[in-house]
Every structure is written in structure tokens, then in C-alpha cells.
Amino acid sequence: MNKQSVKDIDVKGKVVFCRVDFNVPMKDGQVTDETRIRAALPTIQYLSEQGAKVVLASHLGRPKGQVVEELRLNAVAEKLQELSGKNVVKTDEAYGDTVKAEIAKLEEGGVLLLENVRFYPGEEKNDPELAKAFADLADVYVNDAFGAAHRAHASTEGIAKHIPAVAGFLMEKELEVLGKALNNPERPFTAIIGGAKVKDKIGVIDNLLNKVDNIIIGGGLAYTFIKALGHDVGKSLLEEDKVDLAKSFLDQAKEKGVNFYMPVDIVVADDFSNDANTQIVSIDSIPSDWEGLDCGPKSREIYADVIKNSKLVIWNGPMGVFELDAFAGGTKAVAEALAEANDTYSVIGGGDSAAAVEKFNLADKMSHISTGGGASLEFMEGKVLPGVLALNDK
Ligand SMILES: Nc1ncnc2c1ncn2[C@@H]1O[C@H](COP(=O)(O)OP(=O)(O)OP(=O)(O)O)[C@@H](O)[C@H]1O
Ligand SMILES: O=C(O)[C@H](O)COP(=O)(O)O
């Protein structure tokens, strides 16, 4: 990496604004997967041991510039305290005089977590004033939020214009491992894209079509493609205004010789719950009152075959609503195929995909579990991540 890291600077006695990605899955106010918090610990511990005053900043969810009570970082602070064994001070704001006063009370090695930075409209707009307000809290900026490095926001990019800016250990490790896989990828190279953030992910496919040999589409994303083939999708997740784009991807895949795999059968349900009535239907027979929540057994077999014949697989986004056992089969089948494919280098990206692999106890069978979802995808597409670009060169 040609960017400076925490090892290149002296942080003793300095206030370090450390951007982390604590955008973790939550349920009923509790953190349900702590992978991203654990992943940030080496940098936090190091800064603390070096005598820095560690001010952590993160987003959680998409509160769209407003305070959303359920998206406060209090539960995250508690989890961090438990995992790090350090007292973690939590502020209810992310900048300003009250925060400054709390930072002034921190001892060397102390750790403080700011409130969700996305409670402020300026964060996602990369507002220079907000970036300056963040910078005013600290002497040094450390970016360890690989998962948010594809966003040019005030706490991931703007702040780096004001104070010395370096990478944390997690950021370094992610760039190194993913960079190795990407430069000269082993082939066949397969991308598996699923999940629910259709708008985010559909654009990524455009670039991947120039890189990979196989694309597997699953999860909520699949229905926009099923619609593009001219089939009705009932009540399934659908991004109507992306149907034409999906169509064009199918054409491009043909032109470029990329094998494009979509579900051939679907588990549909009459309700979004474990107790729903379900049936397995082919993609041209989704009943109008039902919604597709998982891929069916035939699709799973096809996907497993492609995976086992690949040398490099990147996987982002679950194949179905894996949180509900009734719709976890497709995601589990993909995870198992990856676990069994000994000759395949597997890169898992995305909070939910990582959580799924954990849930099936297969995490240690994967080659690399990235803490980045969209970030790992954009990196693998070959894009320069703004959060990385903004850091000081070596
Ligand atoms: N068919 C479907 N209908 C509705 N939701 C689905 C469907 N399939 C999967 N999902 C949901 O998609 C969610 C995950 O989507 P998401 O795009 O956030 O993936 P991710 O792996 O977390 O990636 P990222 O970190 O980039 O967000 C899960 O909560 C899952 O229940
Ligand atoms: O979960 C992620 O991929 C990162 O935390 C970024 O979140 P975002 O997609 O809401 O920007």
C-alpha cells in the first residue's frame, strides 16, 4: 500500500479521530454480529497502547441526516467495552463543544465513541464545514473503516483534507488481501451477488462483467432480473426502474462471453415469516400474491457446481432471507459449496453475508471474510476508493 499507516506516525498524547465501520447488524437494540467491532480492535488497542486519546467515529444504518433513536451507537459502545476490556466513553453528539469537553477529560490511552455520524445531513454530502468540525476535535485522522471507504463522506474523506491522515491496520489488511486476489485473478473467477440493496449492487455488475467469467445473481436482487426476462415476480422485492438496466446486463453478458446464472426455481411464501406457507415454483410461475424469499433446490445445485469449478469467488449478499430458517437454504448451500471447494479462494463481503457464514459455522472455511460489503465490491471492480485516496502518501 502506498499510503501511510498508523505505524508511520507518532500518536503519543495526541487526539486521534479514528473512523471505524461499526455498521453492525442489530436486533431489538442489541448487536447481533460483532465481526466488524472485533476487526477494528487491533488498531484501537495499538493507538491506546501508544498513548493516544482515541476518538472513534462510525455510522450505523441509513438515518438520512436525522436523529433516529434506534440507530444510536450506545449498544455498540457497550459491546466495544466488553470486547476491548477498556472503558468506552460514549457521547450523544459527534462534534461540538460538549464533545470537546469530553475529549479533554480523556486520559492517554482512553477511548471515546462519538454518536452516529449519519445523524448529520453534512456527513453523506461530504459538507466541508462538518469535515472541519470533525477535524477540529483531533490532531490526527486514522481511517480503519474499510467497509465505508467507497463513500466520500465528511468522516471518511473530507476530514482527511484538514489533518494528517493515515490508514489503520484493518484498512491495510483488506487492501492487501483483496489487492492480491484482484491483480491477476485466478480463473475461472466468479462473482456471486445477492442481498437486498438492489440499487447499490446492480451498478456493480456493470464493471464486474469486464472482469469475471461467471456471475451468479441471487437474493432480492434476482427479481429485477426475473422481471427483465419478462416474468411476473408477485410481491417479491423489485426495483422497477432498474429492469431495463438488468436487461442490458443480460445482453452484455452474452456479448462478453460471461456466464450469467440466475435462479431457475424460487421458494415463495405467502407471508414474510417462518410460519408462512411456502412452495417451490419455477421463475415463470411466481404467484401474484406471494413473494420470493429464497432460491430453490435446482438453483442451489447449479450454483454449487459453478462454485466448485471456480478458482476465485467473491460473494456479496445472501441468496435469500437467511435470518429466517425457512428461507436460509439457498444461502447455506452457497456457503457449504464454498467451504467444500478447497481449491477455490473465497472472499466474502458484506455484513449480512459474513453474518450468514458465521451462522452456519463455516467462517473458518473461507479464505477471507472482508468487513466491506459495497467497499469490497467496488474495490474488486477496480475502482479507487475515496476513503483510501484521501490518505497521506508514503
Ligand atoms: N428475496 C429476498 N427478499 C427480500 N430480502 C432479501 C431477499 N434475499 C435476501 N434478502 C435480505 O437481504 C439482506 C442483506 O442484503 P444486503 O444487500 O444488505 O447484503 P450484505 O451482505 O449485508 O451486503 P452489504 O454489506 O453490501 O450491505 C438480508 O437481510 C436478507 O434477508
Ligand atoms: O455496510 C456497509 O456496506 C458499510 O457500512 C456502508 O454502509 P452504506 O452502504 O449504508 O454506506
Task: Specify the number of domains making up the chain.
Answer: 2
92 vs 336: CA distance, rounded Å: 42
- Residue 198 neighbours by CB distance under 10 Å: 21
178 belongs to a structural domain: no
d(CA 118, CA 116): 5
Say yes or no: 214 and 333 in one domain. yes
Stretches where the chain sits below pLDDT 50 are none
Check whether 65 is labelled as a binding-site residue: no
pLDDT value, residue 201: 86
The reported pLDDT for the residue numbered 183 is 78
Q: Which residue type does 391 have?
A: L
Residue 199 pLDDT: 84
* CATH label of the domain that carries residue 116: 3.40.50.1260
For residue 212, the model assigns a pLDDT of: 94
User: Locate cell 484493518: which residue?
Assistant: 170
Are residues 360 and 301 part of one domain? yes
Cα 330 to ligand 1 centre (Å) = 13
Domain end call among 171, 201, 228: 171
Instruction: Give the domain extent around 267.
Output: 185-381
Closest-lying ligand 2 atom to the alpha carbon of residue 373: 3
**Catalytic residue set:** 36, 197, 351, 374
* pTM higher than 0.90: no
Task: Establish whether residue 147 lines the binding site of ligand 2, counting it when its CB lies within 6 angstroms of any ligand atom.
Answer: yes
Please count the residues of the chain.
394
Q: Taking a C-beta distance cutoff of 8 angstroms, is the pair 162, 286 a contact? A: no
Cell numbers that stand for 311 in this block: 478458482
Q: At which of 140, 171, 202 does a domain end?
A: 171
Residue 126 within any structural domain of the chain: yes
CA of 32 to the centre of ligand 1 (A): 15
